[in-house]
């Protein structure tokens, strides 16, 4: 497994239902294509878990992107009627403050080295 995805082996709760998507190489994609691909992955993931907006943080960690990108995708998809978006609870808002990109998993201490 590529070191960028090593944290998916962690047994932390958020990894139990996180899909291990492999993103296409960014240098071969335009920003618009990459964004569309991200939205489709959000749709495919949340379509299996409708209404679970908290899954955004799980998906952000799996895709190694900022959570706000996932939330934006959810908002756009919910406006299109493709996913159900629930309002965030205070606990979720506190959880979303944490950055999605870190160098070390807080649960298992695996290093996440970017290449």
Structural domain of residue 20, as residue ranges?
3-96
Q: Decide: 57 and 95 in contact? Cβ < 8 Å.
A: yes
- Residue-by-residue pLDDT tens, the chain, 115 positions: 444 444 444 444 443 444 444 444 444 444 555 555 666 666 666 666 555 555 666 677 677 777 667 777 777 777 777 666 655 555 544 444 444 455 555 555 555 554 4
Residue 57 lies in a domain: yes
Q: Decide: 104 and 110 in contact? Cβ < 8 Å.
A: yes
Instruction: Give this prediction's pTM.
Output: 0.31
Residue 86 lies in a domain: yes
Residue 61 lies in a domain: yes
What letters, b where the CB count within 10 A reaches 16 and e where it falls short, cover 88-115?
eeeeeeeebeeebeeeebeeeeeebeee
Residue 87 lies in a domain: yes
Residue 55 lies in a domain: yes
Residue 44 lies in a domain: yes
Residue 7 lies in a domain: yes
Dist CA 66 CA 71 (whole Å): 9
Residue 114 lies in a domain: no
Considering its fold, how many domains does the chain have in total? Answer: 1
């Amino acid at each position: 497994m590529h070191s960028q995805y090593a944290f998916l082996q962690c047994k932390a709760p958020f990894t139990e239902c996180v899909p291990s998507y492999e993103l296409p190489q960014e240098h071969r994609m335009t920003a618009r294509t990459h964004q569309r691909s991200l939205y489709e992955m959000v749709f495919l993931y949340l379509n299996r878990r409708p209404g679970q907006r908290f899954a955004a943080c799980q998906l952000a960690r799996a895709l190694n992107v900022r959570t706000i990108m996932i939330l934006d995708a959810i908002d756009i998809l919910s406006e299109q009627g493709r996913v159900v978006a629930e309002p965030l609870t205070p606990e979720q808002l506190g959880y979303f403050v944490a950055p999605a990109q870190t160098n070390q998993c807080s649960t298992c201490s695996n290093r996440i080295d970017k290449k």
